[in-house]
Amino acid sequence: MSLTRRTSLGLLTLALARPALAQRPARVMAGAALETLATGLANPWALAFLPDGRMLVTERPGRMRLVSSNGAVSAPLAGVPAVWARGQGGLLDLCLAPDFATSRTLYFSYAEPRDGGAATSVARARLSADATRLDDVKVIFRQQPASGGPVHFGSRIVAGRDGTLFVGLGERGQMDRAQDLSTHYGKVVRIHTDGAAPRDNPFIGKPGILPEIWSVGHRNIQGAALHPETGALWTVEHGAMGGDEINIPEPGRNYGWPVITYGRDYSGAKIGIGPRKDGMEQPIHYWDPSIAPSGMMFYTGDAFPHWRGSLFIGALAGSLVARLTVENNRIVAEERLLAGLGHRYRDIRQGPDGFINLLTDAADGLILRLRPA
């Protein structure tokens, strides 16, 4: 059975069945076609490509699955720890170690059940040789403190070029704690792969400040990526009603939430003092109204040469993919793709073939693939 709908981008056919093979691509824009690679995933959150072209996918309820290049979805992998799958909590991001081809090491973030509720944790594990389970699972970082709140867990994990890990963390709906350096709420943290704080982190040795903190004043980071040329970390975070931000977090800098923001509260009330304050950083780009940005990547492939160097960001509330033109760390143009299809785009990753792969956030979530027409 299939559903055909007319959108602003043309006529698109979406399958309601769960095929093992990708559908015949449907043209959605000049030079590009969209196909459904896999279906039946429960609120998929993150996607990572293995060296052989297969994919690991996390599902927010607490499962990790392997997806073949033709869309066949495996049984859940064994060894995933229990997650706090409430509200926005659950199994979240996934990042392969740079030496995964030899070490089979990966990192993942999740809402970990704890006394007092839950908080975002990062674990290290090894994918078994037959790719059916996680071995040697060890938690290497725990956001402090735990909370019973169901929102704003973050989080994305990015491996830096120096071998450290960046982790973007939400403020758990407790906005003032994004400015509190005795908590990890609303921060980017930087850790070694064993969880230790690097000695060159900006707040090392300062009393009352958690040593893992890299940058301060974030609301809910949902996307992160390294710039392919500079190696700098870029992040994107949710605002409230408006004020979604792209930042390039620098060590020790304060990005303002909730003192400054371009958004307003959902009630319409003002948040903080306005958009600017001395000593607090400005985003390089923001959206008002909000699009609820999530997965983020720089495109470096050959399949779409005219998009090389673009920054792609999936949107949840906006149900679109934003393609941003970047020049000298500035956003100079935005193109909105795949709007009108009704999908919440949770993650976006470039495949080894240069095609663009998307996860849709739904109880029956999809892996979509954008390829040349």
Domain regions of the chain by residue span? 40-343
Report the CATH architecture of 40-343.
6 Propeller (2.120)
Residue 147, token pair as written in the block: 């909370």
At 288-336, the pLDDT tens digits run: 999 999 999 999 999 999 999 999 999 999 899 999 999 999 999 999 9
d(CA 262, CA 272): 10
pLDDT digits (tens, 9 = 90+) for 255-297: 999 999 999 999 999 999 999 999 999 999 999 999 999 999 9
Global pTM? 0.93
What are the respective helix, strand and coil percentages of the chain, to the nearest 5?
Answer: 5, 45, 50
**92/104 Cα distance (integer angstroms):** 19
The pLDDT of residue 54 is above 90: yes
Question: 99-158 pLDDT, tens per residue?
Answer: 999 999 999 999 999 999 999 999 999 999 999 999 999 999 999 999 999 999 999 999
Catalytic residue chosen out of the listed positions 152, 218, 238, 343: 152
d(CA 145, CA 185): 8
Give the confidence band of 45 by pLDDT, cuts at 50, 70, 90.
Answer: very high
- Distances in whole angstroms, Cα of residue 68 to Cα of each of 71, 170, 267: 5, 32, 45
What percent of the chain has pLDDT above 70?
94
Active site annotation includes 238: no
Residue 54: both structure tokens together? 């297969």
pLDDT at 77 exceeding the cut of 70:
yes
Cα 367 to Cα 100, 169, 299, 345, 362: the distances in Å are 23, 25, 18, 10, 11
Position 23 scores a pLDDT of 55
Place of tokens 């120096």: 162
Angstrom CA distances, 155 to 69, 172, 328, stand at: 26, 11, 26
**Positive or negative: CA dihedral 364, 365, 371, 373:** positive
